Amino acid sequence: MKIREKIREQIPQWMERIQRLKKDHSDFVVGEVTIEQILSGIRGVQISISDISYVDPYEGIRLRGYTIPQVLSLLPKAKNSEMPLAGGLYYLLLTGELPNRDEAEEVEDIWRSRSDVPQYVWDVIRAMPRETHPMTLFSQAIMALQPQSLFAKAYLEGLPKSQYWEYYLEDSLNLTAKIPKIAAFIFCWKYKNGEIESPDPDLDWSARFAQMIGKGADRQYQELMRLYLVIHSDHEGANVSAHTSHLVSSALSDIYLSSAAGMNGLAGPLHGLANQECIRWLINVYEVFGRLPSDEELEGYIRTQLSAGYVIPGYGHAVLRVTDPRFTAQMEFAERYLPNDPLFQLVKQVYRLAPSILGENGKIKNPRPNVDAINGCLQYYYGVREVDFYTVLFGVSRILGLTAHAVWARALGKPIERPKSLTTRMLEERVGIIQTEP
Ligand code: HAX
């Protein structure tokens, strides 16, 4: 397998770089941590390395050094499509190299051959109350696959540390192969008749997912999913889902345990669930006005929401200080395929008005849109209107990034993470508010 060979080839160079930093520069001070940072979610504290992706505040995400427009243009395209093969993206994330068509297709073939999901996983989902949130079902289904972990089994049998990554890689390929079917099953069980359409083996990973949720005939929706599943895949190592998954796998919890943990983080409204919140917000605006509001009406509505203490979903970001390039990529798609859609008109109107209103009180660090300000509108247009499913779509893509990080964490022998907590009293003593007890 090309991916395994490439990773194996690269490990010694990466190890050497890490060892050199450790050996010759271990006392170098990277930064200081202020009380402000500790009290505001460890914001901006540089705590880990990710060579898979990096979010530049003023440029946005780079996946293995490539910007979103570069990723979209340079990866091999799916058959009869202008959008990339997700298999190529996974190759890029895992190896750092742009794949040729054969290399991208090899990943797609591996996914095809490993996509069957054991029957009992469906039973686990069926045993849940129908009103369960799809993200809970998604996380549970991943957990249900955990007994399949090759790493967990081999570890018990005494796997040497130098081989951990190979088992993580196998588990990752197995999990990512099954993920579209799992998501499709949840969709069909929760909202339809419970049957998923048999996937066409000629289709690629992203289009097969579209087909399995009943969109086999919709070429544009397949294009959307190819775009969507590539651009949501990774956002460096320290956002909630990535960091949670990394932390959990640092205890040598396998891919299933660590990916499910990441998905539980993604399920929060300030993170992945924001896509669901955002579409609800847009629909609510329509319901309030019964039509596209005028600029004055929308401005008034945004101000009322803010003064009532609500956030405007899809706006702001913990790291980005510009419009999210993933938002821009989806805007371009919408301009091309659904320019007159009323919800898209509203997305554009909010984009025109909200940043300056949000910026007025100077509190928000980035008043511009993030990826979630538009992704729901696109799903809605193509008839996927089950809005509480939207975060699962994000999860299908994000598993690619989480698992790539975990494979490399094991390849480089990263240790268990164990930062340190303090008591409030300790901080008070350090700043001199209260006397240190003798
Ligand atoms: N609407 C209103 N107020 C906002 C805001 C928004 N969209 N974004 C930030 N603010 C406020 C914050 O609530 C904060 O106010 P307080 O000091 O009173 O608590 C202040 O502005 C400063 O926040 P910040 O430093 O600019 O932003 P944070 O790093 O703390 O938070 C968030 C980043 C993305 C969580 C935040 O901008 C937010 O809640 N946005 C709306 C939800 C959203 O779109 N989430 C998706 C983010 C992308 C993602 O992870 N997708 O998975």
Confidence grade of residue 194 (pLDDT, cut at 50, 70, 90): confident
- Condensed to tens digits (0 to 9), the pLDDT of residues 320-351 reads 999 999 999 999 999 999 999 999 999 999 99
CA of 285 to the centre of ligand 1 (A): 20
- For the segment 128-156, the average pLDDT, to the nearest whole number, is 98
pTM (two decimals): 0.96
DSSP at 73: H
Mean pLDDT of the chain, nearest integer: 96
Which residues span the domain enclosing 353? 274-381
DSSP readout, 275-293?
Answer: HHHHHHHHHHHHHHHSSPP
Q: Which of 232, 235, 317, 405 is catalytic?
A: 317
- For the segment 385-400, the average pLDDT, to the nearest whole number, is 97
Q: With respect to residue 164, please indicate whether it lies within any of the assigned structural domains.
A: no
Q: With respect to residue 208, please indicate whether it lies within any of the assigned structural domains.
A: no
Q: Which atom of ligand 1 is nearest to the CA of 324?
A: 48
CA of 354 to the centre of ligand 1 (A): 13
Nearest-CA residue for atom 8 of ligand 1: 316
- Condensed to tens digits (0 to 9), the pLDDT of residues 54-113 reads 999 999 999 999 999 999 999 999 999 999 999 999 999 999 999 999 999 999 999 999
Among 374, 231, 367, 361, which residue's Cα sits nearest to residue 307? 361
Is the pLDDT at 216 greater than 90? The verdict is no
Q: Which atom of ligand 1 is nearest to the CA of 40?
A: 30
- The total of structural domains in the chain comes to 1
CA of 192 to the centre of ligand 1 (A): 35
Is the pLDDT at 436 greater than 80? The verdict is no
Is the pLDDT at 362 greater than 90? The verdict is no
- Condensed to tens digits (0 to 9), the pLDDT of residues 162-193 reads 999 999 999 999 999 999 999 999 999 999 98
User: What pLDDT does 334 receive?
Assistant: 98
Among 116, 71, 109, 70, which residue's Cα sits nearest to residue 89? 71
Is the pLDDT at 438 greater than 80? The verdict is no
Can you tell me the distance from the alpha carbon of 212 to that of 209, in angstroms, rounded to the nearest whole number?
A: 5
Among 144, 110, 152, which residue's Cα sits nearest to residue 124? 144
The phi and psi torsions of 121 (rounded to 5 degrees) equal -65, -40
Nearest-CA residue for atom 32 of ligand 1: 317
- For the segment 21-25, the average pLDDT, to the nearest whole number, is 96
Is the pLDDT at 437 greater than 80? The verdict is no
* Tokens (6 digits) for 380: 């809605």
User: What pLDDT does 238 receive?
Assistant: 93
Q: ∠ CA 242-365-401 to the nearest 5 degrees? A: 15
Q: With respect to residue 169, please indicate whether it lies within any of the assigned structural domains.
A: no
Is the pLDDT at 22 greater than 90? The verdict is yes
Is residue 235 annotated as part of the catalytic site, yes or no? no
The amino acid at 295: D
Nearest-CA residue for atom 49 of ligand 1: 271
Can you tell me the distance from the alpha carbon of 293 to that of 312, in angstroms, rounded to the nearest whole number?
A: 16
Residues above pLDDT 70, as percent of the chain: 100
Confidence grade of residue 401 (pLDDT, cut at 50, 70, 90): very high
User: What pLDDT does 422 receive?
Assistant: 95
> What letters, b where the CB count within 10 A reaches 16 and e where it falls short, cover 337-353?
bbeeeebbebbbbbbeb
Alpha helices in 26-67 (DSSP H): 35-39
Residues above pLDDT 90, as percent of the chain: 95
Across the chain, which distance is largest between two alpha carbons, in Å? 76
User: What pLDDT does 435 receive?
Assistant: 84
The answer to whether the CB of 173 falls within 8 A of the CB of 110 is yes
Nearest-CA residue for atom 31 of ligand 1: 318
Q: ∠ CA 345-347-350 to the nearest 5 degrees? A: 110
Among 352, 67, 78, which residue's Cα sits nearest to residue 204? 78
Any residues with Cβ below 6 Å from ligand 1, and which?
Answer: 270-272, 274, 306, 311-318, 358, 363-366, 370-372
Go through the chain and tell me how many residues it has: 438
The amino acid at 366: N
- Condensed to tens digits (0 to 9), the pLDDT of residues 96-133 reads 999 999 999 999 999 999 999 999 999 999 999 999 99
Q: With respect to residue 236, please indicate whether it lies within any of the assigned structural domains.
A: no
Q: With respect to residue 304, please indicate whether it lies within any of the assigned structural domains.
A: yes
Q: With respect to residue 286, please indicate whether it lies within any of the assigned structural domains.
A: yes
- For the segment 279-289, the average pLDDT, to the nearest whole number, is 95
User: What pLDDT does 52 receive?
Assistant: 97
- Condensed to tens digits (0 to 9), the pLDDT of residues 259-271 reads 999 999 999 998 9
The answer to whether the CB of 302 falls within 8 A of the CB of 37 is no
Residue 360 maps to which CATH number? Answer: 1.10.230.10
